Amino acid sequence: MKTVNLVFGIHNHQPIGNFDHVIEDAYKKSYKPFLDILKNHPKIKVSQHYTGFLLEWLKKKHPEIFSELKSLIKSGQVHMMTGGFYEPILAIIPDKDKLGQIRKLNDYLKRNFNFTATGMWLAERVWEQHIVKPIAECGVKSVVIDDTHFKYVGLKDEDLLGYYVTEEQGKTVNIFPISKMLRYTIPFQSVQKTIDYLRSIASEDGSRIAVYADDGEKFGVWPNTYKHVYEDGWLEDFFRALEENSDWIKIIHFSEAMETIKPIGRVYLQNASYAEMLHWALPPELYLKYEEFENRLKEAKLFDNYEEFVRGGYWRNFLAKYPESNNIHKKMIRLSERAHALERKGGKVDHILDKVWASQCNDPYWHGIFGGLYLPNLRYPVYKSMIQAEVEIDKSEKKTDLSITHEDFDRDGSEEILVESNVMDAYFKPEEGGALFELDYKPVPFNLLDILSRRPEGYHNKLRQPTSVNGADGEVHSIHDLVVSKEQGLDKLLTYDWYRRGSFIDHFIGATTLEEFAAASYKELGDFVNRRYTKKIVRKKDGALLRLSRVGNVDGSSPAPVVVTKTFEFKPGVHKFVCGYEVDILGEPGVDVDFGVEFNIGLMAGDAHDRYYTIDGAKPEDSRLRSTGVSESVTSVTLTDEWQKIAATITSDKPLTLWRFPIETVSLSEAGFERVYQSSVIFLHSRFRLEKMFEVKFEFAIRKLR
């Protein structure tokens, strides 16, 4: 009789900081019912991976699931898989952190389940060959990766019915290819299609291995899957079918496969992830070209023959595609270096490193059909962890004063200005308008500029296409095939910013309305918004001055050379800083201009009742942070967040006109297209005639509420 070996793996993941109700929903719809059915089928063996954060949440909220897992592990039905504790993209974090994260999850599994894990789940299957060495050094024997990775180096479907050995600097790891066929049939298509496929690859010698390993959330959390998998009985039918065919379908663990079956050979893989991820990593225009190219190949029935030559981009280019993601990454790297430097000096850094590792959780570093980077609630805990780590590092280094340095923080070839104290961090980008792009308040801790600009995404074109949930065949479609909007009219919100949103952004505008300015569809008269400013740093005994200046042009009735100088003053231990502006004409006077300064503050929720505006001491009629409005002769604007107990106040030394409006992005998530509040824009401006120097001073103060 022809037989085949099936290895079945489940990966359960939740990012740090995800809402309790979201994780609870996943517990009820996926994690718990899956185990309930599994334990009734003792012949079904499953390798399970849970991210460290999810395990900690389950232990606190539902400790009973630990008892179930212990029983299933003891019986040999379940093997646990390791990985990075906070599920980082291993390739982009320091090697010492790779080792630390994997060992942390290894220790957790041993301590809580008395299980020594030798198989590993690779976050988002992002592969770069150099990760083999630290993985092997942690005692890991096997890793699962998509079969697509293997096809990129020339292997065919018939070559992927087993596992391979790969090596880096003499260190070896076994790598198992995940079957794309099984990823798309389980659980979305009929059980029989999976059985038929397994029968088609069964062999006389029984040495072939088929691997299924994918997200556990597909079993109940993804759209329409709870009804399909549990209420309609798909999972029960699947397990029963495997049992009924157990004479020729041999269900084994990864460790059993390595013990009983020899590897096919040795292989070295290219930098890759799963196919959809490589598509998402492309810039928007190439995203659409790639989609068109792939569709043309499929229409011509050429795709299956040439699939190995069809691939998208490279995961690391998410850091180029989204400067906000790059900022998170480079701040994390900087803190990791500081923490390990302390470690080398004999300092106790375990608690610091754990915060750094938490900030390596991969979700806010990228974006595809999952909210990821676009979701403030996922970025928030990452920045919070980094700021907490920084506070502890400062304490260990006995750092109490204020420092101001210039370095290439974001690794783009130009220097940024970093102002850091025990109260706040203020990071400026002279090459892009001298704008403030990060403002960390340490007593809370919170980054008030943790926001995302509005930019085109390749999938935005789908907003105008008909909604589709189920196909004509009645089968439940993969989330990759769904087009669903969470509200009507989102296509009308597809407005894009031509510069990166931040604070202290300098504008010269003409006959412009609030609506045009908010939509970034107005004409900018000056060339100051995202152009280079010169920098000068003056260190003082009681603080530091940062002077940013640019000689540019204002395009009124005729171009006029204008110099804008903004001078920031910082003091250690002070919860505020001031910025004095000087706007002076260098040519013939007489140009009428409207000069203003843009501030962005992101407090995560635009409609929450506990987050609101106060203008000159009074709440406007609509005080929500996503409200839009005009106020005249304003000298003070406050944004308050009672949930975090923080308030930010911008004060001017002269009355100015205030325009306020929200920055809201339209992004794709598991539940469909959605509007996401990113920040509130405060634009303080004044109309005047450039005949003499215009001066204005702003104070930016942050306070912690009682």
Question: pLDDT-derived band of residue 147, with 50, 70 and 90 as boundaries?
Answer: very high
pLDDT confidence tier of residue 265, bands split at 50, 70 and 90 = very high
pLDDT of 329: 98
Percent of the chain with pLDDT over 70: 96
Tell me the mean pLDDT in the region 381-396.
97
Q: Tens digit of pLDDT for each residue in 509-533?
A: 988 999 999 999 999 999 999 999 9
The band of 482, judged by pLDDT with boundaries at 50, 70 and 90, is low
Q: What pLDDT is stored for residue 469 in this prediction? A: 41
Mean confidence (pLDDT) of the chain: 94
pLDDT digits 0-9 by tens, 611-668: 999 999 999 999 999 999 999 999 999 999 999 999 999 999 999 999 999 999 999 8
For residue 249, give the 3-state DSSP assignment. Answer: strand
What percentage of the chain reaches a pLDDT higher than 90?
88
Maximum alpha-carbon separation in the chain? 95
Question: How close are the terminal C-alpha atoms of the chain, in Å?
Answer: 74
Please give the residue that has the higher pLDDT: either 192 or 473. Answer: 192
Is the pLDDT confidence value at 477 over 60? no
Average pLDDT (43-51) is 97
Q: 3-class DSSP state for residue 424?
A: strand
Query: What integer is the mean pLDDT of 683-699?
Result: 91
| pLDDT score at 131 | 98
Listing DSSP states for 118-173 in one string gives: -EEEPGGG-B-GGGHHHHHHTT--EEEEEHHHHHTTT--GGG-SS-EEEEETTEEE
pLDDT at residue number 277:
95
Q: Would the pLDDT of 486 be above 80?
A: no
Specify the 3-state DSSP secondary structure of 303. Answer: helix
pLDDT at 463: 85
Per residue in 540-568, pLDDT (tens digit) is 988 999 999 999 999 866 678 999 999 99
564 SS3 class: strand
Q: How confident is the model at residue 95 (pLDDT cuts 50, 70, 90)?
A: very high
Average pLDDT in the 442-466 region? Answer: 91
According to DSSP H, which parts of 509-661 are helical? 514-518
> For 396-410, what is each residue's pLDDT tens digit?
998 888 999 999 999
How big, in percent rounded to 5, are the helix, strand and coil portions of the chain?
35, 30, 35
Q: Cα separation of 566 and 580, whole Å?
A: 6
| Residue positions counted in the chain | 706
- Strands 435-441, 446-447: parallel, antiparallel or unpaired by DSSP? antiparallel
The whole model's pTM is what?
Answer: 0.94
Q: How far is CA 347 from CA 344, 354, 440, 442, in A?
A: 7, 14, 25, 22
Residue 468, classed as helix, strand or coil, is strand
pLDDT over 90 at 479, yes or no: no
- pLDDT tier at 472, thresholds 50, 70, 90: very low
Select the more confidently predicted residue: 491 or 344: 344
Of the pLDDT bands very low, low, confident and very high (cuts 50, 70, 90), residue 160 is very high
What's the whole-number mean pLDDT along residues 322-340?
98
Give the separation between CA 663 and CA 495, rounded to whole angstroms.
10
684 beta partners: 597, 658
Please tell me the least confidently modeled range out of 175-184, 250-259, 271-280, 469-478.
Answer: 469-478
Do residues 606 and 701 make contact, with C-beta atoms less than 8 angstroms apart?
no
Domains (range + CATH), the chain: 4-271 (3.20.110.20), 490-704 (2.70.98.10)
At residue 473, the pLDDT reads 46
Q: What is the pLDDT of residue 634?
A: 98
Q: Does the pLDDT value for residue 170 go beyond 60? A: yes
Instruction: Please give the positions annotated as active site.
Output: 124, 215
